[in-house]
Amino acid sequence: MYNHRSYLFVPAFKQSMIKKAIASEADCVIIDLEDSVAITEKRLARETILESLDNTSGSNVFIRINDLHTPFWEDDLSCAIQAGVTGIMLPKSEHASDIRTITEKAGNEALTLIPLIETAKGVQHIADIANANQNVERLAFGSIDYSLDIDCQLTPGGLELLFARSQIVNASRAAEIGAPIDAVYPDLNNEDGLVQEATLARQLGFKGKLLIHPKQVDLVHQIFSPSQQELEECEEIVEAFEQAEQQGVASIAYNNKLVDYPVYRRAKELLASSKTNV
């Protein structure tokens, strides 16, 4: 499964912003009908989406609909289907039944779903959500709403979010869906903070990040892409191990480190994924 590194949010109320986001270097775009659109402007925002997308621009475009506790989600879902986007992001995902409600309402439409985990209930039921049905491509984390829900204090180190992040990564792997997407980093003027948070997310097993501005794309792509040194080491590991395997050897030493089948497979996977992120 392809690991998109960047998911760029863009408000749904302005065509020029939507087109600019789609033309950016972001791997995916999420047109937002939820938090960035006033309650009185929801209908107009849907119309703007339909006017902004053509038959080709919906590729790798998602729509974040309003959550199932609002009166807007059904019209949002209809808009997503009519717009021909890749899929939807479902905020406040808390139960597997939320996912099934969406897919049943969508009928035969092949919409990819990205449940957004941003409450304690969502984390509590994370395994059920990840396994809800085949439409769930991967999970995403909403740290700001989650911190408000559990009433914790957000810190630069992110220790208070470690449990939730780890649960999301583990549930994704256990369900054999795509690697999850980490939360937005809201401070646009703090590149060091973005690097620190994105690096931690990658270390924990996330393979991408939600973004709120195009200027965050390049940094996030660098962090979630293997470095040239990593790729060269992987190539050497794969070559050396395969040569040893032909001689009946199942483990070798590389730079004073043990390389066995798990390490070999990881090197091959990293090389394969790097070829899709170009």
- Does one domain contain both 247 and 126? no
CB–CB of 67/77 below 8 Å? Answer: no
- Does one domain contain both 47 and 119? yes
Q: Tell me which of 179, 194, 223 is where a domain ends.
A: 223
85 Cβ contact list (under 8 Å, min separation 6) = 31, 53, 58, 61, 62, 63, 111
In angstroms, the Cα distances linking 40 to 13, 48, 95, 246 are 12, 14, 28, 67
Its pTM stands at 0.86
Residue 1 inside a domain? The answer is: no
- Does one domain contain both 207 and 107? yes
Q: Tell me which of 206, 223, 240 is where a domain ends.
A: 223
- Does one domain contain both 243 and 178? no
- Does one domain contain both 134 and 234? no
> Residue 255 is part of which domain span?
228-276
- Does one domain contain both 124 and 210? yes
Tell me the pLDDT of the chain (278 aa) as tens digits: 567 999 999 999 999 999 999 999 999 999 999 999 999 999 999 999 999 997 656 679 999 999 999 999 999 999 999 999 999 999 999 999 999 999 999 987 789 999 999 999 999 999 999 999 999 999 999 999 999 999 999 999 999 999 999 999 999 999 999 999 999 999 999 999 999 999 999 999 999 999 999 999 999 999 998 777 777 777 778 877 878 788 887 888 888 888 887 788 887 877 777 765 55
Residue 58 inside a domain? The answer is: yes
- Does one domain contain both 65 and 13? yes
- Does one domain contain both 248 and 211? no
Residue 172 inside a domain? The answer is: yes
Tally of structural domains, the chain: 2
- Does one domain contain both 147 and 256? no
Separation CA 105–CA 93 (nearest Å)? 16
